[in-house]
Amino acid sequence: MHVVIMGCGRVGSTLARNLEERGHTIAVIDGNPDAFRRLGPNFGGDKVTGLGFDQSVLKSARIDEAGGFAAVSSGDNSNIISARVARETFGIDNVVARIYDPGRAEVYQRLGIPTVATVRWTADQIIRRLLPEGSEPEWRDPSGMIRIEIVVTPEPWVGHRVTQLEATGARVAFLTRLGEGLLPAADTVLQDGDELHLVMADATAERTNAAISAGPEES
């Protein structure tokens, strides 16, 4: 797949090299030609000097052939404008923009432009490492409505089916058993040591976790 990346900072250059290593063709856009040094001598993609929201620049980067576009410059406005041009003018479905302001990121997310809110992600990662284990979810969606938690199967649930645990309001997205990922079926029985990756509504997470801690109801 051909991917166009706007911004050749640390994120853009790393993204470009990683995608190229996976066999994709890459075009990187940056207003500063010196920024392309970050790509290293072995980079084989296109280096296009200019603004990522300039249609002629995007065409030079072969946006017409692209299957994906990433706007990862240091400016929120440039990123979101470039993402919108790629999506609305050139019809690119796979578009993502890095946004530093988490409030704006949520707005654009609702408009259908996937965003990565750098500040929020970094803060969340730090918080998860500062607070006691289990205090914060493993992941929370940009709207703050859905969360994923990782829970080692509580002893009362060992020997019970996944469907019984899901009656608490959580959904088992997958589980890790003896170091390997496993997609559970309706008849999957929980074992001691299983790590459960639970999806649940953030608003009812406290009630759901309490129900899980209480164990299965006696039939």
23 and 108 in a single domain? The answer is yes
- Residue range(s) defining the domain that contains residue 38: 2-122
Q: Is residue 219 part of a domain?
A: no
pLDDT in tens, 158-186: 999 999 999 999 999 999 999 899 999 98
pLDDT in tens, 19-37: 999 999 999 999 999 999 9
107 and 150 in a single domain? The answer is no
Query: Among 4-8, 94-98, 149-153, 203-207, which range has the highest average pLDDT?
Result: 4-8
Structurally, the chain folds into a number of domains equal to 2
pLDDT in tens, 97-133: 888 876 677 677 766 777 776 666 556 655 555 555 5
118 and 194 in a single domain? The answer is no
Query: What is the secondary structure of 70-107 as a DSSP string?
Result: EE-SS-HHHHHHHHHIIIIIT--SEEEEEES-HHHHHH
Out of 87, 122, 157, pick the residue that ends a domain: 122
164 and 114 in a single domain? The answer is no
34 and 93 in a single domain? The answer is yes
64 and 30 in a single domain? The answer is yes
188 and 83 in a single domain? The answer is no
Residues with Cβ within 8 Å of residue 191, at least 6 apart in sequence: 153, 158, 177
50 and 157 in a single domain? The answer is no
116 and 163 in a single domain? The answer is no
Comparing CA positions, the residue from 160, 162, 135 lying closest to residue 150 is 135
Q: Is residue 95 part of a domain?
A: yes
Q: Is residue 96 part of a domain?
A: yes
